[in-house]
Amino acid sequence: MRRGIVVGLLTLSAATPATAEIAVMASGKILYIDTFSRSEERLVLYLTGGGEVTVPAEMVHNIVPNEIVEQEQADPRQVRLLPHLDDVIEASATRYGLDPHLVAAVILAESSGDTRAVSNKGAQGLMQLMPSTARELGVADALDPAQNVDGGSRYLRDMLDRHSGNLSLALAAYNAGPEAVRKYGGIPPYRETEDYVGRVLRTYERASEAVE
């Protein structure tokens, strides 16, 4: 990967336009962009604040709306992974004693912030709740952002408690189920789960470091 592509998590300022978008990279990084264009099998991403990068299309996992409400005194150090979901994430994270950045990182890995996402296995919404899990959590409408994030955050909290606060194991259990973690005595040797845990941790750690 070219160095110019690895620009990491960009901070937001009050000048960020409400029409901007978020490019979610396959690596788990996110880029704030004003717009993009396609040229054959490559995408040109026009970065918020100036500049552009050209990347292979397969390096971009998704591009989602960045529905930002401008604030006159925004903290320039603050990294908001999913600004349009700030209120929903903050409420659920506070309710279950979680870092909002962690909840946002899980959402990015699960659905790229798509409230209507449905997987081929039937998992639904922002935090990709299976119908049976949603019922257990009391989530009546898994495609409702507030209900979905509340249920997913509650489940993540439960996985953390079950695994004595070990975040890697909790994330593995969130992805593959707690029985798989118990069976293998750690992160299951599934490529999907290993990639998932790494992706969430990288996104979470970079967002956390940016505001220190």
Q: Which of 110, 179, 192, 194 is catalytic?
A: 110
Q: What are phi and psi of 68, to 5 degrees?
A: -90, 135
Q: What's the N-to-C CA distance of the chain in angstroms?
A: 27
Question: Measured between alpha carbons, how far is residue 55 from residues 34, 43, 108 in Å?
Answer: 16, 5, 20
Calculate the dihedral angle through the C-alpha atoms of 96, 129, 33, 79, rounding to the nearest 10 degrees.
10
**58 has catalytic annotation:** no
Give the whole-angstrom CA distance, residue 89 versus residue 50. Answer: 29
Residue 124 CB neighbour total at 10 angstroms: 22
Name the residues annotated as catalytic. Answer: 110
